[in-house]
Every structure is written in structure tokens, then in C-alpha cells.
């Protein structure tokens, strides 16, 4: 199949680095810091042709993509972004991007168009025209709650999506309520055995990254990550290390060690005695990227107790879950004192992730759903 991603580029410098380091003939479409990088790798291995159109790339040459950085402060870029999201039809740049997408799709001829979530640029009438002109199946892949995060154009386009895939069961229900004809619980995250594995660390890496408890991820804004922040605040008397490309709340800044993406993030996760994984407040079912990646590199993981975790892993065998910050403190203290238990659970989690949660398995399931929809005549309206 010919698969066209219509996506936002979050880490352009990481993509440039990945392209520079890639072997001949293996030009990456996405940076390794974005899950779609591994989607494309798996899809190519399964024999499919992939292309990407950057919906985040301005049609005006002087407006270049920059590093995505979350902040709680009111900035000019945040204000302009909010204004553009509220009035997308009045934005001439957005309209140019939609026309460029139509031209790109005409050259590529997609069988399916995959839109990773948070689309505030591509208009519903553009999506309808792509379905009509190419018979393309529209797949929307969303790792966040549409109630909390979705833009007006996302909600308006929900009835056009032939398939929505969501990490979280509750998010899938919300998309159905918005009018999507079909929504499936299929985690956006998994592991690529060539990238997610137990890294051998140098002495320098062990010294730089060593800590009792490590967290790599987003902590702002507070309305979306209050539970994650509360969990880490309960661990401030342990040797806590925090890495993030975004802002860090004042209460946790003494533990901040800098930004981390891609392979560096995995090496940090591997170096720590414990990696703690509290989901965002908006993920009540669970299934974030760290859940699978931490097990994939053989790290000992303590995650918050979300229902989905028990669908994908055996708690106590592959990882450990906590109920509240006080329980998390108890678990951290216990497992820091029991190296053998940590090692046993980490090894079992690694074996389980590599057996049952690879990107090839995810993409095989996704394509089976797409074929089922196309066989039923959807995607050609």
C-alpha cells in the first residue's frame, strides 16, 4: 500500500541528525524522538511505501519549524497559535498548506492517509476531497483525549475519519461520540528491537545519568500533568533525576538535569535504578510511549495504576504499579533495597515487550483494520 503521513514535525534538529547518520537507502521520514519514525520503519519492513507531508511547515519560506517546547508562560507564539486554532479558515498560511497537500497527494497517489493527532491545520473539506479523489482511507491516530486537546477542525472532521486509533479506551469512546464511524484501541507506542534494547553504557554515561529514580518527560502545564508532578514531589528525598525538553515546575527544578530525546532518553532510562512513569492526567486508561519503551530497554519501571496497563502487562511480573504518591514512596524504598527483585522484573518486562509489543505487530494490526475498511467500501466516498 501507499501510505501518506500528514504530520507535524516536533524536533527538526533530531530529524537532520537522523538523516545525516542514516545508512544509504534508509532515509528516515521522522526523527527518532517521534513515534511515527518507528511506524514508518515497521511499515517499510512490511513492504509498504511511505511518504510524509509536513502540515506544520509554513507555506511561507521565512517561517521555519522550531523545537516544540511546552511552557506555562503566556508567550507570543502561544497566543498566535491559539488564535490560529480558533480561526483556521481565516489563516492564509493554513489555506496554502491545504493546497500544497492536495498537490502532494496528487503526485503520490495514497491508498491511505494517516494523520497523527493535534491537527489544527488540515481542513475537513481538504480531507473530504482527498477521500473523493484518491479513494484514500483516512486514519486518525491520537494519543490524547479529544475532549481535552482537540482543535475545532479535528472535531469537525471526526465523521470523515474512516478509522481512529487511540492508546486509551476512553479516548476511543470520545471519538465515537464526536462522530467517528470507527475507533479502535491500538496503542500508538511500542518498541523497535533495533532501537529499544538494553544499552551497554560507558563509564561516563553511568556517571552522568546515574540516579535512584529517573523521569524523562513533560511536566507542564499543571492542568495536564498535576498527578505526574505530585508523584515526583513525593520522591524529592530520594536521588531523583528529571530530564525534559520542556519547562519544569519550580518545586522540581533542583532535580532537573537537562533535555533528552531519542537514544539519550533510552540510555538515561537504562542507567537509573528505577524509572517512574506517571501518565498525564488526561490518560485514565493508560498506554503512553514510556510504558513500552522502558520495558523495551530492560529498565525496572513503576507506573501509576491504569486499567490498560493490566491489558498489556502482568503487574508484579513485568513492572510494578502504584496507587498514590504515598504508595509510590513505599515501592521506591522497597525496590531500592532489593536489587534482585528489580533485576528479575526488569528482565521479564524486557522479554514480554519484545515478544508482544513491537511496532511491526502494531502496524500489521493497523493495516489489517485498513484493509477491512477498504474491503467494505469505506474510504472511497
Task: Please tell me the distance from the alpha carbon of residue 341 to that of residue 158, in angstroms, as a whole number.
Answer: 46
> 140-164: per-residue pLDDT in tens?
998 889 999 889 999 999 999 999 9
Q: Is the model's pLDDT at 380 over the cut of 50?
A: no
Q: What is the pLDDT of residue 377?
A: 60
Round to whole Å and give the CA distance between 54 and 11: 12
DSSP 168-210: SHHHHHHHHHTT-S-EEE--S--B-TTTSS-PPPPHHHHHHH-
> Which own/partner pairs from 58-63 qualify as long-range (CB within 8 Å, at least 24 positions apart)?
58/93, 58/97, 59/93, 59/96, 59/97, 59/100, 60/93, 60/96, 63/93
**H or E stretch including 138?**
strand 137-142
Q: Is residue 126's pLDDT more than 70?
A: yes
> pLDDT at residue 44 above 50?
yes
- pTM attached to this predicted model: 0.90
Q: Tens of pLDDT along 232-254? A: 999 999 999 999 999 999 999 99
**Predicted confidence band of residue 259 (pLDDT cuts 50, 70, 90):** very high
**What's the whole-number mean pLDDT along residues 161-172?**
96
**Is the per-residue pLDDT at 298 higher than 90?**
yes
Query: What is the pLDDT of the chain when averaged over all its residues?
Result: 93
Query: Residue 312 pLDDT > 60, yes or no?
Result: yes
CB 189 within 8 A of CB 292: yes
Delineate the domains of the chain, giving CATH numbers in brackets. Answer: 2-190+359-375 (3.40.50.2000), 203-356 (3.40.50.2000)
In the predicted model, what is the mean pLDDT of residues 62-70?
55
In 3-state terms the chain splits into helix, strand, coil percentages (rounded to 5) of 45, 15, 40
Amino acid at each position: 500500500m501507499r501510505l501518506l503521513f500528514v504530520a507535524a514535525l516536533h524536533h527538526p534538529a533530531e530529524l537532520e541528525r537522523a538523516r545525516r547518520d542514516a545508512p544509504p537507502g534508509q532515509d528516515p521520514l521522522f526523527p527518532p524522538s517521534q513515534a511515527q519514525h518507528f511506524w514508518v520503519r515497521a511499515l517499510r519492513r512490511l513492504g509498504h511505501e511511505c511518504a510524509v507531508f509536513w502540515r506544520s511547515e509554513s507555506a511561507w519560506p521565512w517561517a521555519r519549524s522550531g523545537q516544540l517546547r511546552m511552557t506555562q508562560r503566556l508567550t507570543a507564539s502561544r497566543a498566535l497559535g491559539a488564535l490560529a486554532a480558533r480561526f483556521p479558515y481565516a489563516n492564509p498560511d493554513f489555506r496554502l498548506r491545504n493546497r500544497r497537500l492536495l498537490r502532494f497527494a496528487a503526485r503520490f497517489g495514497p491508498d491511505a492517509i494517516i494523520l497523527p493527532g493535534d491537527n489544527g491545520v488540515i481542513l475537513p473539506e481538504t480531507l473530504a476531497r482527498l477521500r473523493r479523489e484518491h479513494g484514500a482511507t483516512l486514519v486518525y491516530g491520537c494519543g490524547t483525549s479529544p475532549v481535552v486537546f482537540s482543535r475545532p477542525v479535528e472535531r469537525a472532521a471526526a465523521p470523515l475519519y474512516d478509522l481512529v486509533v487511540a492508546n486509551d479506551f476512553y479516548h476511543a469512546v470520545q471519538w465515537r461520540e464526536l462522530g467517528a464511524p470507527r475507533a479502535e484501541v491500538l496503542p500508538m507506542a511500542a518498541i523497535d528491537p533495533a532501537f529499544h534494547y538494553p544499552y551497554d553504557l560507558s563509564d561516563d554515561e553511568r556517571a552522568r545519568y546515574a540516579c535512584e529514580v529517573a523521569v524523562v518527560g513533560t511536566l507542564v502545564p499543571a492542568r495536564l500533568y498535576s498527578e505526574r508532578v505530585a508523584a515526583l514531589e513525593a520522591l524529592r528525598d530520594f536521588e531523583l533525576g528529571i530530564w525534559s525538553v520542556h519547562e519544569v515546575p519550580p518545586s522540581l527544578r533542583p532535580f532537573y538535569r537537562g533535555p533528552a530525546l531519542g537514544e539519550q532518553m533510552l540510555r538515561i532510562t537504562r542507567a537509573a535504578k528505577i524509572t517512574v512513569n506517571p501518565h498525564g492526567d488526561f490518560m485514565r486508561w493508560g498506554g503512553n510511549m514510556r510504558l513500552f519503551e522502558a520495558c523495551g530497554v530492560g529498565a525496572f519501571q513503576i507506573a501509576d495504576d491504569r486499567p490498560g496497563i493490566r491489558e498489556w502487562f502482568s503487574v508484579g511480573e513485568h513492572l510494578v504499579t502504584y496507587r498514590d504518591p504515598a504508595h509510590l514512596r513505599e515501592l521506591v524504598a522497597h525496590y531500592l533495597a532489593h536489587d534482585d527483585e528489580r533485576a528479575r522484573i526488569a528482565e521479564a518486562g524486557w522479554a514480554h515487550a519484545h515478544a508482544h509489543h513491537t511496532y511491526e505487530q502494531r502496524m500489521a494490526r493497523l493495516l489489517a483494520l485498513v484493509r477491512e475498511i477498504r474491503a467494505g467500501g469505506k474510504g472511497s466516498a
